Amino acid sequence: MAPPADKITPPRAPREKSGGRMEPLARLPVFFALAGKRVVVAGGGEPAVWKAELLSAAGAHVLVLAEEPCADMMALAADAPGGPISLEHRAWTPEDLAGAALAIADAEDEAEAAHFAQAARAAGVPVNVIDKPAFCDFAFGAIVNRSPLVLGISTDGAAPVFGQAIRAKIEAILPRGFKRWAQAAQDWRAGVAALNLPFQARRAFWEGFAARALAAPEREPDESDRAALFRSIETMRPQGGTGSVVLVGAGPGDPELLTLKAVRALQSAEVVLYDDLVSPQVLDFARREAKKMLVGKTGYGPSCKQSDINGLMVQLALEGRRVVRLKGGDPMVFGRAGEEITACRAAGIPVEVVPGISSPQGVAATLVTSLTHRDHARRLQFVTAHARDGKLPKDLDFRALSDPAATTIVYMPRRTLAELVARLVEAGIDAQVPALAVFSATRPEQVVVSAPLTRLADEVERAVSAGASGPCLVLYGHALSEGQAALMDTTSARVS
């Protein structure tokens, strides 16, 4: 039963998600612009050769100080890959470090390493002592080079071989043609910036650019690509500075079930309005700079009014923002999408929908159970057990919901499940029809309760008492009998 009106928690206002957006980093990944800048390398052994080559490739003017440089260092100085390498046959002095962009040393012992690091820091120069992390302000990671597209990989010195293995994996899957596309982006950026396009149009240009690069990575981008991208901007750009709204399905919880289109929408959003049912891992796909606001609605708990959500969404879009309305499951299945679409259209705001994996689809996949086995089900039906007043809807067709040849999915069933089952029994449903209640579908904390339908409400209450939590979905129908043994094993494992 629904709680008395005087016990219902008052509505809550939309609120911005603050903090917790970035987990702790062992290292801050940064990329130094070294073209034309002086970098000092102290030491001429094999470990210093690779560092000097990297620095030269980045355009630095490398000064190598070594009393007895190895043959490879002398050969490198004679044939530098980028910026010049000056080799002086002498020991370094603190004066050499003044004004340098970086200082790198191949030190033989701890005392020499400490001396070099102290001198570099005194000169205000970031320092790296090869293979001695205690004396390093920065580290060289494994590199995937598709310059100007460059990827750096760090394990914070814990497992360099592991980092190299990851680099090799990325090298194998990252098309070499991305180098040409990245160069085109660098060449075109100034021209795009000179047009003084609004954020929406700039974002649309680069999203289109990325889509073309991913679709044809080995093709040489040319002026026809650039012209086509600008033409597409004109067709996509909202009129009068108005923003847009995208309703995005976040799926049932597992972030790996997000569609590629959903990820692209999140990465282009300026504001994300999200529900309580959206997992934090899904929010991580949004741009770091995007404002994230919780506008959740929970059964019998603190909830934002739908009218407030509609108003906020419209207001943000009228300000010219690109708004993503992120909903659990699929927005078009019991996601109040119709009300939000109507509000956007009434305000003249462009609105689109990105579908998501629905909770029933996620449950069926997780439990490896067909919802429409042709020997048992000719129909799949979806119904909500939660009306506007929090009670069982009065207009449900219980005869249809008792159809033995259907698989039925019940959304928001927790408070009205016992009443729903009683009405189904009155309508003649088979009391032994297989039924499931699934909490937090597809998430690590998922709990599955399996029982004949007439016993399900009692089993659900026991599961809740044992700690089951999160959104609940009920499924019943003879199609579920095909995997009953496996489901019982899953239930005992998850609920116990």
Question: Could you report the per-residue pLDDT of 432-477, keeping only the tens digit for each?
Answer: 999 999 999 999 899 999 999 999 999 999 999 999 998 899 999 9
Report the chain's C-alpha Rg in angstroms. Answer: 30
How far is Cα 254 from Cα 444, in angstroms, rounded to an integer? 8
The pLDDT assigned to 12 comes to: 62
The pLDDT assigned to 103 comes to: 98
Residue 142 bridge partners (DSSP): 153
How far is Cα 118 from Cα 124, in angstroms, rounded to an integer? 10
Active site residue 261: no
How far is Cα 470 from Cα 109, in angstroms, rounded to an integer? 57
Other Cβ atoms closer than 10 A to 134: 9
Structure token pair of residue 278: 């959206």
Please tell me the number of Cα atoms within 13 Å of 121 on its side-chain side: 12
The pLDDT assigned to 33 comes to: 94
Grouping H, G, I as helix, E, B as strand and the rest as coil, residue 314 is helix
Q: How many helices (H) and strands (E) does the chain have?
A: 16, 18
DSSP 102-147: EEEE--SSHHHHHHHHHHHHHTT--EEETT-GGG-SS---EEEEET
Question: Could you report the per-residue pLDDT of 254-292, keeping only the tens digit for each?
Answer: 999 999 889 888 988 889 999 888 888 898 888 878 889
The pLDDT assigned to 8 comes to: 45
Active site residue 275: yes
Q: Which of 98, 90, 92, 93 is nearest to 121 (CA)?
A: 98
Contacts of 488 (CB under 8 A, 6+ apart): 450
| 434-439/447-452 β-pairing | antiparallel
pTM summary value: 0.64
Please give the residue that has the higher pLDDT: either 85 or 378.
85
The pLDDT assigned to 1 comes to: 43
How far is Cα 265 from Cα 272, in angstroms, rounded to an integer? 10
How far is Cα 377 from Cα 89, in angstroms, rounded to an integer? 84
Q: Which of 456, 398, 452, 461 is nearest to 430 (CA)?
A: 452
Question: Could you report the per-residue pLDDT of 326-335, keeping only the tens digit for each?
Answer: 999 999 998 8
Percent above pLDDT 70 for the chain? 89
Catalytic residue among 37, 275, 292, 330: 275
User: What is the enclosing helix (H) or strand (E) of 412?
Assistant: none
The pLDDT assigned to 332 comes to: 92
The pLDDT assigned to 19 comes to: 47
Question: Could you report the per-residue pLDDT of 100-127, keeping only the tens digit for each?
Answer: 999 999 998 999 999 999 999 999 999 9
Structure token pair of residue 226: 């650039």
Distances (CA, A) of 434 to 236, 408, 428: 49, 11, 15
Catalytic residue among 297, 308, 403, 458: 297
How far is Cα 179 from Cα 153, in angstroms, rounded to an integer? 18
How far is Cα 14 from Cα 9, in angstroms, rounded to an integer? 15
DSSP 168-231: HHHHHHS-TTHHHHHHHHHHHHHHHHHTT--HHHHHHHHHHHHHHHHHSTTSPP-HHHHHHHHH
